[in-house]
Amino acid sequence: MISLYSLIWTVLVSCPLLLLIVVLRRRAACLMKYGVTFICILYGFCAIRMLIPIEVPVFQKVICDPHLYSHLMRDYALLDKVVKYKIVAIIIISWIVGSIIATVYYSSKIIKSFIQLQKTCYEGDGRAEQILKEIDPNSKIRIRYTDLVLTPFMVGMFKPTIYMTEVDCDDKELKYILMHEYTHWKRKDHWKQAFVYIMRIIFWWNPLFYFLNKDIRLMIEMGCDKTMLRSYPERYSLGYLKTLCFVAKSGVDKLDDVGISTLKFAKVDSQSGFKRRLYYAMDFKENLKVQKRVNIFVFCVCFIWMLSSYYFILQPTYSPDEEIQTLENQKDQIFDGRNTYIEKRKDGSYILYFGPTTQIISKEDVENGFYDLYPIINEK
């Protein structure tokens, strides 16, 4: 089931993992040695965990915090069960409504962008199509030309299409560009990008997903560069990097003005990010065995972490009231004839002495036998 506690616990266990990604994504030495795949694994497990914010009370171990968490959740804990359900329902409905609004907003921007693309497409000289056939004669990738873009990119998961302009480069450089986009298609990178985009829409309330959107896209581009260059001798890497820089310098991608976000050949989100991409591509000392072991290790650790996060849950705990605690700490008192009795005063009234307390009682109650258990003494 889903409760406010399970929602809060999901955020508490997932956000530290996102923060770890934020730290690691800029560690060039770490990326050079272990690759970028493990970053994507961390992101994937974190996103999946946040997509399933449930608790299973049957076997869960409750972690109690009697201090800060209990203080923050005290008002909620004292609410009626029905009110708690309503609060959770309001949160979930708000989450869903926000996701729908984000979906409509981004979808409208994408549709607008593709309408502009379709209106500006034209036929090229056929050079790129011929090179693409040399790369893979059976490829289903189409090529469309438009002056809206200066950075080639591919869209479409079922009908992939490369949008590009007729860049002023030779056949070798054009082959690098097309090979890069073809490698994206072979690696299913557009499915990964779609997953990141969907997570950004679903978790519209979490700034970390917005913050990591460009970084994950950069990780995918870096992985694509590395995969592509493995099929070339090292001496060709410099030519590829020159092509990458040439396309990046050729102009500003105009599609940013109409709001499309996809994997682009030489997209420069930041100078530091583009430099990391170049350094990563130039690293010829990568150890694929070490990277594979790291990826398997990270996958196993994340899998155990995700299962463990469902076994534990954080809930508030409260101690008894001070009055109850005082009574529990009191020493036992003995009530007998020395401290518990009725005194008959000279004026005919009666006073009940019960330990340290006294109480005036009526003559009728005494005569009717309501206090027969207590000894009666006369006032001296």
Three-state SS string over 88-120 comes to HHHHHHHHHHHHHHHHHHHHHHHHHHHHHHHHH
Is there a contact between 185 and 78 (Cβ–Cβ < 8 Å)?
no
pTM for the whole structure: 0.72
Q: 283, 254, 280, 282: which is closest to 267 by C-alpha? A: 254
Residue carrying the six token digits 């004669």: 137
Residue carrying the six token digits 């534990």: 312
Distance of alpha carbon 289 from alpha carbon 300, whole angstroms: 17
Give the pLDDT score at 352: 86
Give the pLDDT score at 157: 79
Residues of the chain with pLDDT under 50: 252-259, 323
Q: 134, 8, 9: which is closest to 61 by C-alpha? A: 9
| Token representation of residue 68 | 């800060």
Give the pLDDT score at 256: 47
Instruction: Put residue 355 in one of left, alpha, beta given phi > 0 → left and psi -120 to 50 → alpha.
Output: left
The 8-class DSSP code of residue 320 comes to P
Give the pLDDT score at 267: 65
Residue 81 CB contacts under 8 Å (≥ 6 apart), including other chains: none
Q: For 232-260, how does the pLDDT look when each residue is reduced to its tens digit (9 = 90+)?
A: 887 788 888 888 888 877 654 444 444 45
Give the pLDDT score at 312: 86
Q: For 129-165, how does the pLDDT look when each residue is reduced to its tens digit (9 = 90+)?
A: 899 899 888 888 888 888 777 778 888 878 888 888 7
Distance of alpha carbon 269 from alpha carbon 215, whole angstroms: 9
Q: What is the dihedral of CA 135, 139, 141, 142, to 10 degrees?
A: 90
Give the pLDDT score at 282: 80
Give the pLDDT score at 304: 95
Give the pLDDT score at 114: 83
Give the pLDDT score at 63: 82
Is there a contact between 247 and 265 (Cβ–Cβ < 8 Å)?
yes
Give the pLDDT score at 254: 47
| Token representation of residue 244 | 């990458």
Give the pLDDT score at 258: 43
